[in-house]
Amino acid sequence: MSPPLDTAFARAHFPALAGPWALFENAGGTLAAEQVLDRIRTYMAEYQVQPGAAYPASARAAEMIAESHRAMAAMINAQPEEVMIGPSTSMNVFLLAQALKPGLGEGDEVVVTNLDHEANVGAWRKLSGEGITVREWRFDRESFALEPAGLAALLNERTRLVCFGHCSNITGGFTDVPALVRTIHDAGALACVDGVAYAPHRAIDVKAWDVDFYLCSTYKLYGPHLALLYGKRAHFERAAPLNHVFLDDELPLKLNPGGPNHELSAGLAGVTAYLDALHAHHEGESNLPLHGRLAAIFERIAAYEEALVAPLLEFLAAKPGVRLIGNPTADRHARAPTVAFAVEGRDAGEIARAVAAHRVAIGAGDFYAARCIEALGLATQGGVVRASMVHYNTADEVERLIRALDEAI
Ligand SMILES: Cc1ncc(COP(=O)(O)O)c(C=O)c1O
């Protein structure tokens, strides 16, 4: 029995879910909640003027953007000046790397992984042309995990930064961020964590985890195509400014040339409004602050997702010729409901197309985690097949997915 999450209530907030398709490519991008759509429409229809001037429409435009900035900061338990809103996580990591580069010297070391999306890898690897040594923390090909021992072997007195993911967009597996951050800090280095594949599934608490930099993309979090870069205030203060010279001391604008997109920023508070509505529907009135309310609803989402994904994992474990890429457990503490697999002798894209004939949308490819796919020896068969769920998927949809896969494999 699924733990209680009122999926009818959740789904009513996503107009596209009224269509005939079962959508299982949510790790590529989720739908945007109605609260987000409403805010973007209101901003563009009524307030699309230069924000922050001395007339009502302009003041309201500025306030809609500021509300969203405060909401995103509260969502991850940070202060607004510690949260930069940029166009994508790939761009945000690139900007961060440019801003930290002047603080790194010849022989300093940066650690990246071979499991993660290229966003938190490539921008750092490019620094190797500037005298910085880049080391690779390789995932264990049996457990599909980034084992702490692998990192321990790489850390030394020259390590300045360790860049890794909170959740793999291929395996769905979580890393233990607080424990890894402690290890990294003990070695005198900073931690930069890609939380893109984690954020749609679990609450984020950058303060509790003591992480130095944390990133997530809001278009995979029921919002518009934007992304958040959190950095501890002291790190942002020390970072090189990238924007207009007169903004050198403005946090976080100093890191964000051109500033954030206005109408999409205005929409961001719709993400927390949606999650809060989900919370109120399930938990009733609450005295908790927003971050506490989100933590509570994500607890419920985690339990729901664990039950949702279990039948798919069981089906794949029993299906001959299938190689699951990741931990076979549905345990909510170990993984998100993002499931990747390969089928012996079969091209991943061909399987995704066969499943699409049943109006079930899944993904195939490397999902820009090309180093992981290469290490698994799957580059020549089109990468992996990936089915990624979020809380608005239902047990019935998972049954449809399993039936379609059973025919296709
Ligand atoms: C785990 C992970 N990190 C980073 C990214 C890149 O995010 P963006 O598209 O915002 O650059 C993705 C996108 O798929 C991802 O899945």
3-state secondary structure of 250: coil
Residue 183 pLDDT greater than 70, yes or no: yes
What does the pLDDT read at residue 343?
98
| Measured CA distances, 80 to 68, 75, 97 (Å) | 10, 10, 21
The one-character DSSP state at 173 is: B
Residue 186 pLDDT greater than 50, yes or no: yes
Q: How far is the CA of 217 from the centre of ligand 1 (A)?
A: 7
Domain ranges within the chain, ordered by starting residue: 7-33+304-408, 38-271
pLDDT tens figures, 27-70 = 999 999 999 999 999 999 999 999 999 999 999 999 999 999 99
CA separation for the pair 305, 334 (Å, rounded): 12
pLDDT tens figures, 324-358 = 999 999 999 999 999 999 999 999 999 999 999 99
Q: Is the pTM of this model over 0.85?
A: yes
Residue 1 pLDDT greater than 60, yes or no: no
Angle at the Cα of 265 from the Cα atoms of 200 and 26, rounded to 5 degrees: 25
**8 A C-beta contact, residue 132 and residue 109:** yes
Residue 85 structure tokens? 């809103």
When pLDDT is averaged across residues 305-331 and rounded to a whole number, the result is: 98
Please report which confidence band the pLDDT of residue 2 belongs to, taking 50, 70 and 90 as the band edges.
Answer: very low
Please report which confidence band the pLDDT of residue 177 belongs to, taking 50, 70 and 90 as the band edges.
Answer: very high
**8 A C-beta contact, residue 121 and residue 105:** no
- Can you say how many angstroms the Cα of residue 282 is from the centroid of all Cα atoms in its chain? 24
Q: Is residue 169 in contact with ligand 1, taking CB distance under 6 Å?
A: yes
- Domain 38-271, second-level architecture: 3-Layer(aba) Sandwich (3.40)
What does the pLDDT read at residue 339?
99
Q: Matching CATH topology for 7-33+304-408 and 38-271?
A: no
Length of the chain: 409
Among residues 126, 57, 42, 44, the alpha carbon closest in space to that of 90 is found at 126
Mean pLDDT of the chain: 97
When pLDDT is averaged across residues 131-146 and rounded to a whole number, the result is: 97
Burial class from Cβ neighbours inside 10 Å (0-12, 13-18, 19+) for residue 30 reads: buried
Instruction: Please provide the DSSP assignment of 366-395 as one string.
Output: -TT-HHHHHHTT-GGGTSEEEEE--TT--H
What does the pLDDT read at residue 130?
86
Q: How far is the CA of 146 from the centre of ligand 1 (A)?
A: 18
Q: How far is the CA of 222 from the centre of ligand 1 (A)?
A: 14
- Residue closest by Cα to atom 16 of ligand 1: 169
**8 A C-beta contact, residue 33 and residue 14:** yes
User: Which residue matches tokens 């993911």?
Assistant: 165
What does the pLDDT read at residue 129?
85
CA separation for the pair 175, 167 (Å, rounded): 6
Buried b (16+ CB within 10 A) or exposed e, 397-406: bbebbbebbe
CA separation for the pair 10, 274 (Å, rounded): 9
Q: How far is the CA of 54 from the centre of ligand 1 (A)?
A: 38
Please report which confidence band the pLDDT of residue 3 belongs to, taking 50, 70 and 90 as the band edges.
Answer: low
Residue 198 pLDDT greater than 60, yes or no: yes
Residue 286 structure tokens? 């609450």
Q: Is residue 90 in contact with ligand 1, taking CB distance under 6 Å?
A: yes
CA separation for the pair 316, 303 (Å, rounded): 21
When pLDDT is averaged across residues 162-169 and rounded to a whole number, the result is: 99
CA atoms within 13 A on the CB side of 143: 13
Q: Is residue 226 in contact with ligand 1, taking CB distance under 6 Å?
A: no
Residue 72 pLDDT greater than 90, yes or no: yes
Query: What are the backbone angles phi and psi of residue 364, rounded to the nearest 5°?
Result: -150, 145
- Superfamily of domain 7-33+304-408 in CATH is Aspartate Aminotransferase, domain 1 (3.90.1150.10)
